[in-house]
Chains A and B, each alone.
Chain A
Amino acid sequence: QLQLQESGPGLVKPSETLSLTCTVSGGSISSSPHYWVWIRQPPGKGLEWIGSIYYRGSTYYNPSLKSRLTISVDTSKNHFSLTLSSVTAADTAVYFCARKNRRDADDAFDIWGQGTMVTVSS
């Protein structure tokens, strides 16, 4: 059974860089044709798609975050990562990783990690 697990610091200082990793277990991150995505949710608010990556490295970013965002993949470690630079309090959120199922769920996000809370504060 495929599982996703986010990891990374829970506290980041303003203007610094937020870095998170999503480890895929129970299956391969190189499983075609799926994409791997990051989604976030500020406290008490709705969901925001951050961006996605294919195991070969092609990426799609939310235009509102694109200038600060990098998503990468490491197939040897079966994980993908997010870095968001120059963070502010507005980046405080629960960050989820998920699988975008392109085979039999019409591009929906069918498997999610449990989420990790990241607070931006000095």
Chain B
Amino acid sequence: EIVLTQSPGTLSLSPGERATLSCRASQSVSNRYLAWYQQKPGQAPRLLIYGASSRATGIPDRFSGSGSGTEFTLIISRLEPEDFAVYYCQQLGSFGGGTKVEIK
């Protein structure tokens, strides 16, 4: 079973700043199956990135994904007020523990 470890657990930033979120896999995984989701309180997760770097339909270009092997990154280039949320990476049947992006 692949374990996905996300860091940091919490990221405190101000609107307009850049957010860098990390997802590390316990063993090498295919880029094709690495996805990122955003979840706001009381809502279902929303798909942001699939295939490690492809933006889902309707996702703004300030969100970008990259990485390969065991190291993957989600970058939010300039935080908007609506971007403060919890972010999860996922690969097939495994989810990371999440990174909370909060307002500093």
Interface residues of A (CB under 8 A from B): 46-49, 60, 62-63, 96, 98, 101, 105-110, 112-115
Contact = CB atoms under 8 A, between A and B. Distances in A.
Contacts of B51: 105-106, 108
A109 B97 contact: no
Interface residues of B, number: 24
B1 to A, nearest CB: 7
Nearest to B48: A108
Contact of B47 (A49, A60, A108): A108
A46 B56 contact: no
**A-B interface, 8 closest residue pairs, ranked by CB to CB distance from nearest:** A108-B50, A112-B44, A108-B35, A106-B51, A47-B95, A49-B93, A105-B50, A106-B50
Contacts of B10: none
Interface string B29-56: 0001101010000011111001100101
A21 B9 CA distance: 33
A108 B56 contact: yes
B94 interface: yes
Contacts of A47: 37, 45, 88, 90, 95, 98
Scoring A48, A98, A108, A114 by chain B CB atoms within 10 A of each residue's CB, the highest score goes to: A108
A37 B21 CA distance: 26
B33 A105 contact: no
B98 A46 contact: yes
Nearest to A96: B44
A43 B95 CA distance: 16
